[in-house]
Amino acid sequence: MGVTGWLKRIALCLCAALLIVVLVGAAIALARQGGALKPLQASGLAWDIWFLGWTFGALWSRPAIARPRLRDDLLHWTPTVVGFALLAEGSAIRIDDPHAALWASPLWTLPPAASWACTGLVAAGLLFTVWARLSLGSLWSGSVSRKTDHIIIESGPYGLVRHPIYTGLILAAFAMAVQIHMPANLFGAGLMSVGLWLKARLEERFIAEQLGREAYAAYKARTPMLIPFLPPRH
């Protein structure tokens, strides 16, 4: 393994260690409030557990043999990262301009049952991404790339949509944003969704170029991109 590989693994381990600290802190806070988990706390915990597993899972992946240009990657990473940051922390932003306070003003109030339903959707979306990642196995990559002995996976959730990981993330992001009910967080979920859509388009162009357009065309013709059961669009 080269230096880059080791640095990547060290960075992933540090992220995982930081997340473990966050989870321990959340457990302590929960114990102090009597162990009563609120819906929004449950959603946040689901995201934390998902990210921890996702981080460790990145250690088992085939090496990439080709990647798109950096500027193409930045086109989708920028809205995705900014959107995720707004989703997670948008309502905590303090803006001095009183006219901009609407950015962090509640849009509605959810009854407990509806809030728990949102938590269920968060969990469903994240579990869908886990199913997709298990279906990919070592072909998974956090960035657009061609792996060693790359093939097109069409089984499991990939029989429902071409990009089930992005589908699950978009569902979980909007469910969380509705639960938080702040404009900043909803905007973040929308921006994150745009970034994932751009990534899906880049991934399809890149894989078609790498593996041959005919190899991907048949799969694309019968499977929708992000929304299950819709007719595929070309």
Q: How far apart are the first and last CA of the chain?
A: 40
Alpha helices per DSSP H over the chain: 3-32, 39-57, 70-89, 112-136, 164-180, 183-211, 213-222
Residue 132 pLDDT = 94
pTM, 2 dp = 0.83
Distance CA 43, CA 54 (A): 16
Each residue's pLDDT, cut to its tens digit, for the chain (234 residues) gives 454 455 555 655 665 566 666 556 656 666 666 667 788 888 988 998 888 888 777 777 777 888 888 888 889 999 999 999 999 887 655 444 455 555 667 788 899 999 999 999 999 999 999 999 989 988 888 888 888 888 888 989 999 999 999 999 999 999 999 999 888 899 999 999 999 999 999 999 998 888 888 878 888 888 999 999 887 765
82 in Cβ contact with 196 (< 8 Å) = no
All domains of the chain, ordered by start, with CATH?
39-222 (1.20.120.1630)
Question: Do 169 and 192 contact (CB within 8 A), yes or no?
Answer: yes
CA dihedral for 60, 219, 158, 114, sign (positive or negative): positive
pLDDT value for 178: 95
